């Protein structure tokens, strides 16, 4: 389980209280409204003047709260070297290894790993290796280098294919996941996504994440012939560089579900 999956899992677990909610793809990409980055479309944006160094995640449910702290360490070239997740269950680390500016291997503290294969600067395959098995994912892009399809490789075929549509800022606005029987639509602000200050653009594309921050999630879950709709809205505070410092998530009843606090240097 890497950084992206840690955050996805956190949001799935914490935001589905008190109902089954949204697979939140709010992870990771390049800033549009700031020109102090020297990133390129295929490669790396780790020369950002601003770097994300910590996220504090707080989930609220049934009158209780759970906290997960994520911290990030960089090498001398401002590339992410290690991500550390710490909560009541212990500490989980992810180490990042590069070939040039491309992340090609993640090694996890639970003994698992994930490697990435690139073509023309874009990730086309990744394989998550477990102790006795592995799962390979394949990614398809359009002419704008947006990842529009992701599937699990089974023999010569793909299964559990997810498809994506984007707005002009590379934000994924529609995700269709027939394997898990849901779709969701996302609206965005015009500010910088915090993960612009963390990881290369080509790595973020397979999350996928856009340039901005989600303001509304509409999740449609299909079960036994019925369609259940969940709506999550956010409220944000920003710093002077237009990066969020706090994001609050609310359900349809206006109840606070979770909070994310972001710290930079």
Contact 222/13 with Cβ under 8 angstroms?
no
Q: How confident is the model at residue 19 (pLDDT cuts 50, 70, 90)?
A: very low
Positive or negative torsion for Cα 92, 160, 201, 127 = positive
For 119, the 3-state DSSP assignment is strand
Q: Which helix (H) or strand (E) holds 191?
A: none
Instruction: Kindly state the greatest CA–CA separation across the chain.
Output: 54
* Dihedrals phi, psi of 64, to nearest 5 degrees: -115, 170
At 101-137, the pLDDT tens digits run 999 999 999 999 999 999 999 999 999 999 999 999 9
Confidence (pTM): 0.84
Q: How many helices (H) and strands (E) does the chain have?
A: 2, 16
Domains of the chain: 3-264 (2.40.160.190)
At 35-80, the pLDDT tens digits run 333 344 455 554 447 999 999 999 999 899 999 999 999 999 999 9
Contact 115/134 with Cβ under 8 angstroms?
no
Going by C-alpha positions, the residue among 140, 126, 217 that lies closest to residue 171 is 217
Among 12-21, 50-59, 187-196, which stretch is predicted with the lowest mean pLDDT?
A: 12-21
């Amino acid at each position: 389980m890497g950084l992206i999956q840690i955050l996805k899992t956190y949001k799935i677990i914490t935001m589905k209280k008190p109902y089954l909610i949204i697979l939140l793809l709010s992870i990771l990409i390049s800033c549009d409204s700031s020109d102090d980055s020297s990133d390129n479309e295929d490669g790396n944006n780790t020369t950002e003047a601003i770097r994300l160094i910590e996220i504090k995640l707080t989930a609220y449910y049934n009158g209780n709260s759970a906290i997960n702290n994520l911290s990030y360490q960089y090498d001398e070239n401002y590339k992410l070297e290690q991500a550390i997740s710490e909560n009541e269950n212990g500490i989980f680390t992810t180490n990042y290894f590069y070939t040039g500016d491309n992340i090609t291997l993640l090694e996890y503290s639970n003994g698992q790993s994930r490697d990435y294969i690139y073509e023309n600067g874009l990730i086309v395959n990744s394989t998550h290796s477990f102790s006795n098995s592995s799962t390979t994912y394949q990614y398809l892009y359009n002419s704008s280098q947006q990842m529009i399809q992701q599937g699990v490789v089974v023999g010569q075929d793909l299964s559990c294919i997810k498809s994506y549509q984007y707005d002009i800022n590379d934000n994924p606005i529609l995700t269709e996941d027939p394997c898990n029987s849901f779709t969701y639509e996302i609206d965005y602000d015009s500010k910088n996504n915090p993960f612009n200050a963390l990881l290369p653009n080509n790595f973020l594309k397979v999350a996928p994440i856009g340039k901005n921050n989600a303001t509304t999630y509409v999740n449609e879950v299909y079960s036994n012939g019925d369609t259940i709709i969940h709506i999550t809205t956010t409220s944000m505070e920003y710093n002077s560089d237009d990066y969020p410092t706090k994001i609050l998530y609310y359900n349809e009843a206006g109840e606070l579900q979770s909070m994310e606090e972001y710290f930079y240097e």
